[in-house]
Amino acid sequence: MKKLIPSYVRVPLLFAVVFAALEYFIDSGDRPAFIKFPMVALFLGVFLFLLIAIEIVIDAVDKVTYHLLTEEQKKQLAEAQTVSFTESKWYQNIVTKLTRSKEIEREEDIMLEHDYDGIKELDNVLPPWWVYLFYGTIIFALVYLVRFHVMNEYDQEQEFKNEVALAELEKSKMPKDAAEEVSYETVVVLTDATSLAKGKEIFTNACAACHKADGGGLVGPNLTDKHWINGGGIKNVFKLISEGSKNNPSMVAWKANLSSKDIQSVASYVLSLQGSNPPGGKPAEGEIWVETAEAAPAATAAVDSTKVEAPAGK
């Protein structure tokens, strides 16, 4: 029977509303939620399947209701409405393929013999859409099993750590208390184990791709020798990490992603690599930098660095 809003309008509209709601409420950064989070894509797929299945069931109920009408009522209904979309031939073919159900006129072919108080049972096959959805869950389970229990891609603990790291990164972008800020003028070398461990963690995640995990250099220069391209010492290294290098576009500015405290920790860790001389390190680049530390006023807690040769920091 004809509906106020046809199914070919209702289904896409409902799907679009749910899709837009998920994209709005799920924080997925610069990528769509259904791409960044596979479970969102799975949910949308299942939701679309269910929408189509509900439409098929509603159409089937309409058919049964229509056949229960008397001839006079059918005639009156036909006069009151034109042929609807759900009564079109190609739509009926699609419904038939998705349900494989027998027409009401041919139900005697699949009628079971047992009769309970005048109620008879039909032996219809399972709807193909339901069967395919069931197969889909099996495929999903197999992929999940291989991905997380055979290949051990990541577990819940690692996922938690990744989320905590992202939260810390977002937190670092928030406005800081002026007392907690570190600048080029006030930065000093940190030597405590906690700060160096923090610097090592950030270095491993953000810098090792260019400088290697041991600082021996890959795309970027070797950080373990005394030669520097952009000036050595805590101040120059802090400034280079914070603002990036004008000489090398690969060395980008990290001040938008890391707090000044974190940059200080990374710079201190880089300086702690001096003299480690890891095997396979790149040849020295730049000039030798010699730093002399003198007593600094307590108000600034700064280190007075003096360059004795041409600038050569990394």
Q: Which two tokens stand for residue 143?
A: 């992929």
User: In 10 A of CB 184, how many CB atoms?
Assistant: 14
What's the pLDDT at 140? 93
**Residue recorded with tokens 């405590």:** 192
* C-alpha–C-alpha distance, residues 40 and 33, integer Å: 7
d(C-alpha 268, C-alpha 195), whole Å = 8
Helices 89-99 and 38-68: crossing angle in degrees, nearest 10, is 110
> Looking at residue 174, what is its pLDDT?
66
Q: Could you list the pLDDT tens digit for every one of the 314 residues in the chain?
A: 445 567 778 888 899 999 988 888 887 777 788 888 888 889 999 999 998 888 888 888 888 887 788 888 777 766 655 545 445 566 667 767 777 666 666 666 767 777 777 777 777 777 788 888 899 999 999 998 988 888 887 778 888 888 888 888 877 766 555 556 788 888 888 889 998 999 999 988 888 888 888 888 888 888 888 888 888 888 889 988 988 888 777 788 888 888 888 888 998 999 898 888 888 888 888 788 777 654 333 333 333 333 333 333 46
* DSSP assignment of the chain: ---SS-HHHHHHHHHHHHHHHHHHHS--TTS-HHHH-HHHHHHHHHHHHHHHHHHHHHHHHHHHHHHHS-HHHHHHHHHHS---GGGSHHHHHHHHHHH-PPPGGGGGGGEEEEEETTEEEE-PPPPHHHHHHHHHHHHHHHHHHIIIIIS----HHHHHHHHHHHHHHHHHTSPPPGGG---TTT-----SHHHHHHHHHHHHHHTHHHH-TTS--SSSPPSSSSEESS--HHHHHHHHHHH--SS-TTS---TTTS-HHHHHHHHHHHHHTTT---TTPPPP-SEE---------TTT--------SS----
The pLDDT assigned to 297 comes to 37
**pLDDT for res 160:** 87
Q: Per the structure block, which two tokens stand in for 263? A: 């940059």
